[in-house]
Structure 1
Amino acid sequence: MIDYDGEAGGYDTSRGGEARAAATAEAVERLLPAETSALVDVACGTGIVTRRLSRPGRTLLGVDRSQGMVALASGRLPCGVVRGDAMRLPIGSASVDAVVLIWLLHLLGDAAPALAEGARLLRTGGVLLTTVDKDEADFRTASDVASVTAPARRKHAARATDHFERVGALAASHGLDMVGDTHFAGIGQGRSPRQWCEQISAGRVSWSRKASPAQVANLRRELSSLPDQDVARPDPLYRLIALTCKVRSF
């Protein structure tokens, strides 16, 4: 798990900064009902995306487990930010119109508790927005890196906690129905073959961590043989889905 307290200070610049935050917020707005008046951003991080969701008449609350992230977000979110766990949110049931979970589910050992908590917070007609299939974001646009890594990624994809079909089934069990989806680019986040090798060697690529040493060595060999070792491949293309709470049953 990433040390988010330790990385808080440089997190934004290492993750695409304002350009990626703008693309993310625009995607969220595309799926939010126009009448959204109360929104909770769970795992809000530094608040760089959350603050862009501010609108007249809309109340925002950011929640994050990392004290370092909360400290930074507090200066960006005048409506408030609290420290809290996505699986035990300090917010009343049926009290908000929207819950946002960006780049969270893939980090969890089990997505079910976070989805259950998000559903608990929603009023009837509210929406839960979440990214899915995060590890596939770098490969939705064809490239030589996508081709080389495909066999290793396929083994991991179906087991990922944010796998689209798994998230849909879990959400349905809590009365949430899918009503929309969109994509947005992780601007400036495309990696070169050399960078992919470095990330895999450092154990920061989830779909390669369960591969055998021989498989990792072969993967690194193939990546190292690609041309233009220091040329970034296409930016990640993230998928965001909207799930609505049509009728509360809990």
Structure 2
Amino acid sequence: MAMDPFNQLIVAISVTSFFTFQWLFHKVSPWMSTRISRPGFLGLSDKQKIEWNSRTVSTFHALLVGIFCLYILFFDDPVNEDPVWGDPTWVKTNVAITTGYLISDLLLIFYYWKAIGDKFFVVHHLAALYAYYYVLGEGMLPYFANFRLLAEFSTPCVNQRWFFEVLGYPKSSRPNMANGVAMAVVFFVVRIAVMPVYYVRMYAVYGTAAFYLVPWGGRVAWICSSICLDIMNVMWMHKIARGCYKVLRSARRSKARGPHENGKTD
């Protein structure tokens, strides 16, 4: 049976996305970085350059799909009114872009394992791809797929903090402290605070006629992948919060010691 023209388009978008992100990693990021931050980038080790390029690409992906997600969330009425079987046209397009990125990133993670290898990212990517298979193949659960992608808004802040540190900003510096706090707040808002909203909406459709039209594989992909991803989100939030607390505590101690170093008090 011939493939539906729209599904052919989705495959084409995924493949184009894959090669685009490979091109951004290997060509565009190094070229831009040497011009925007020439002394800093050229002074990095080979491993740091690989991670730099990886984070540059992930930042671009996050902003692209994140803005697309907001548009769908606020203006795609069919998806918001029917979260299980609403018209998935725009969601599938966005998920296709992310699918290409995830496959590209997995390939880079395995190839440059010593530099950017991380077992949790591998699990994260595979869990997401498993769920997206049903979104792209069956057009089901568009609202929930789109909602999960909103988490990408935390990526630019996380990456920016790493850029500051690798370029030599001390953790206690004002730019890095401000970025660290912003990163923690944004990460909490888009990955942790939204969990009740997500699972309340999931519970609202559980047991409905639309829910029972979802095959068992789709339900497993939906529920298990969501739980798996959120467990990792909580783990990462805990790590970020601890790091942020240590930086703020260190800054307070430095400030408290400062006035006494020259024999003066406040």
Shorter-normalised TM range: under 0.3
Looking at secondary structure, tell me which structure has more helix per residue.
2
Structure 2-normalised TM-score?
Answer: 0.25
Structure 1-normalised TM-score?
Answer: 0.26
